[in-house]
């Protein structure tokens, strides 16, 4: 029993792995990329910038355009935003026949068995949840929250129907 508790904690932490840009946020590659560029350039005070210009932007360029120094946090945030835009452009948008409401109902009813994970295409994690009984309900609760917020998407694409 002593090894069961740390194993459950580790598995629950794995379930909370953060996603920088969830698949639900991607409706169309160009639309999202443009939205991300617009959002990030407005924060920097550079509203009239194309996607290509944003991807080539360096902290030194921001300093020359705005007169303000970005600093370490700002430079890291700029690189992260550029990575998000590149990912949104490269990532194909695939809608699956999986329904978010069905996933939520499965999670509520038999979440401790990991059936909702298997429904979404995550068979390995579903089997682990089955063996650990959903980490005594904690993992199931976290998955329920992630399904409701749209953070837990089907493995092969986006939900066909959303809540």
The 10s digit of each residue's pLDDT in 81-138 is 888 888 777 766 677 888 899 999 999 999 999 999 999 999 999 999 999 988 888 9
Q: What is the pLDDT of residue 131?
A: 93
Residues 112 and 75 in one domain: no
Instruction: Give me the mean pLDDT over the 26-44 stretch.
Output: 50
d(CA 162, CA 38): 26
Residues 56 and 12 in one domain: no
Per the structure, the count of domains in the chain is: 2
Q: Choose the final residue of a domain: 41, 69, 90.
A: 90
- 102 domain residue, yes or no: yes
d(CA 4, CA 144): 22
Residues 141 and 100 in one domain: yes
State both tokens at 124. Answer: 């390995």
* Residue from 112, 113, 123, 111 nearest 147 by CA: 111
Q: What is the pLDDT of residue 47?
A: 60
- 78 domain residue, yes or no: yes
**Where in the sequence is the domain holding 68, given as residue range(s)?**
29-90
pTM value surpassing 0.75? no
Q: What is the pLDDT of residue 10?
A: 38
């Amino acid at each position: 029993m002593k090894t069961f508790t740390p194993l459950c904690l580790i598995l629950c932490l794995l379930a909370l792995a953060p996603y920088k840009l969830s698949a639900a946020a991607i409706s169309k590659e160009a639309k999202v990329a443009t939205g991300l560029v617009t959002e990030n350039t407005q924060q920097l005070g550079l509203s009239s910038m194309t996607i290509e210009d944003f991807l080539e932007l360096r902290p030194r360029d921001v300093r020359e355009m705005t007169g303000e120094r970005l600093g370490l946090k700002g430079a890291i945030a700029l690189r992260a935003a550029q990575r998000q835009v590149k990912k949104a452009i490269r990532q194909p948008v695939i809608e699956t026949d999986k329904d978010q409401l069905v996933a939520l109902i499965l999670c509520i009813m038999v979440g401790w068995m990991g059936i909702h994970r298997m429904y979404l295409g995550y068979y390995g994690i579903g089997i682990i949840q089955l063996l650990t009984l959903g980490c005594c309900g904690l993992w199931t609760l976290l998955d329920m929250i992630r399904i409701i917020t749209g953070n837990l998407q089907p493995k092969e694409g986006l939900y066909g129907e959303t809540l």
